[in-house]
Amino acid sequence: MGNIVLKQVVKRFGEAEVIPPLDLEINDGEFVVFVGPSGCGKSTLLRLIAGLEDVTEGTIEIDGKEVTYAPPAQRGLAMVFQSYALYPHMSVRKNIAFPLKMAGVAQEEIDKKVEHAASILNLANYIDKRPGNLSGGQRQRVAIGRAIVREPSAFLFDEPLSNLDASLRVNMRQEITDLHRELDTTMVYVTHDQVEAMTMADKIVVLHAGVIEQVGSPLELYREPRNRFVAGFIGSPKMNFIEGPAAEKHKAHSIGVRPEHFEVVKKGGDFKGVVLSAEHLGSDTFLRVKMDDGQEILARGSGDVVVNYGDTVALKVEGKIYKFDDQGLAI
């Protein structure tokens, strides 16, 4: 079980309201990602669920039990920190065994569980080393090991991959996704990286200034963003926003077109402009185009598009045009 319900949760630090009244439901077994720019309150929200911060108002329920004021240990959750937060004076074995020792589990049982976790996470060779002698990826595995031995009702991850280098990050992303499938336990994952959010999540919660902008599956958010913020945040490269006459033609304050929804054409097209830069990646070509009215567009063409700086190109929209009103809400 790992059902988490937040009702009208508010968090204030002194006068500053970091999280205005917020409702959220996380279902058992779901992989939920909180995503948003830094300072949007996603980590605070996670820490409220963990019990590391006190809720100012509202209630938190885990598995139907109110835990708003329960200490972290009594919530049945496990957390993996950005800094790994391993105990530097303990070996890997002792690090992983620590939560079991605190719970008063018998030594035999501890040994068995630690061995099991170490084998799942490929840590058997390092089991007697201290964290200081491990690489970043290995440390992260130890941190995950320490979390899984508790058999928590949900895992909380606070930007666990941001200290790793790019290639390792991709591997660990896959490992965490596999782990989720294997354990079938609720996972709540915080990141500022929308690619991580898109690739890992069953459900994404987009946060902005403490407010939930939208909740949905990755493709829902990609296809049906509720507002300009979500539209711009989800998807890489970012969606183009065009204002002025081109938007008015669609009876909107602004329109949005994703870079991958443009096609470079010889004649006609919806937009015309001069190429500011062309990045030929082989598989794709990214064009930065300056339109006649001065607005810039980023378009992704196929790999065989050959244009250069200064060329004039025409772009045709081969996909959805998103329309937004003057408040930034999707029409």
Partner 1 sequence: MARSTTTKQKIGWTIIVWTIALAIFFPVIWTFLTSFKTEGEAIANPPVFFNFDWNLDNYKIILAGEANYPKSLMNSIIIALGSTLLGLVFAVPAAWSMAFQPGRWTKDILMAMLGTKMMPAVGVLMPIYLFLVWIDLLDSRIALVVILMMMNLPIIIWMLYTYFKEIPKDILEASRMDGASLRGEILYVLVPMAIPGIASTMLLNIILAWNEAFWTIILTTTSAKPLSAFMVEFSTKQGLFYAQLSAASVMAIAPILIMGWFSQKQLVSGLTFGAVK
Q: Length of the chain in residues, anyone? A: 331
Task: Give the nearer residue to partner 1 in terms of CB position, either 86 or 206.
Answer: 86
Q: Which of 1, 102, 124, 329 binds partner 1 (CB under 8 A)?
A: 102
Specify whether the CB–CB gap between 300 and 249 falls below 8 A.
no
Task: Give the nearer residue to partner 1 in terms of CB position, either 150 or 253.
Answer: 150
Q: Which of residues 71-100 bind partner 1 (CB under 8 A)?
A: 71-73, 77-79, 81-83, 85-89, 98-99
Task: Give the nearer residue to partner 1 in terms of CB position, either 55 or 278.
Answer: 55
Read out DSSP for 74-141?
A: GGTEEEE-TT----TTS-HHHHHHHHHHHTT--HHHHHHHHHHHHHHTT-GGGTTS-GGGS-HHHHHH
Minimum distance from residue 51 beta carbon to partner 1 (Å): 8
Residue 72 backbone phi and psi in degrees, to 5: -50, -45
Q: Is residue 219 part of the contact set for partner 1 (CB under 8 A)?
A: no
Sign of CA dihedral 11, 16, 21, 26: negative
Minimum distance from residue 261 beta carbon to partner 1 (Å): 42
Minimum distance from residue 105 beta carbon to partner 1 (Å): 10
Q: Which of residues 146-165 bind partner 1 (CB under 8 A)?
A: 146, 150
Specify whether the CB–CB gap between 319 and 260 falls below 8 A.
yes
Task: Give the nearer residue to partner 1 in terms of CB position, either 148 or 231.
Answer: 148
Regarding beta strands 284-291 and 271-280, do their DSSP bridges make them parallel or antiparallel, or are they unpaired? antiparallel
Tokens (6 digits) for 194: 């929308």
Q: Is residue 136 part of the contact set for partner 1 (CB under 8 A)?
A: no
Instruction: Enumerate binding residues for partner 1 (CB under 8 A).
Output: 50, 52, 71-73, 77-79, 81-83, 85-89, 98-99, 102-103, 146, 150
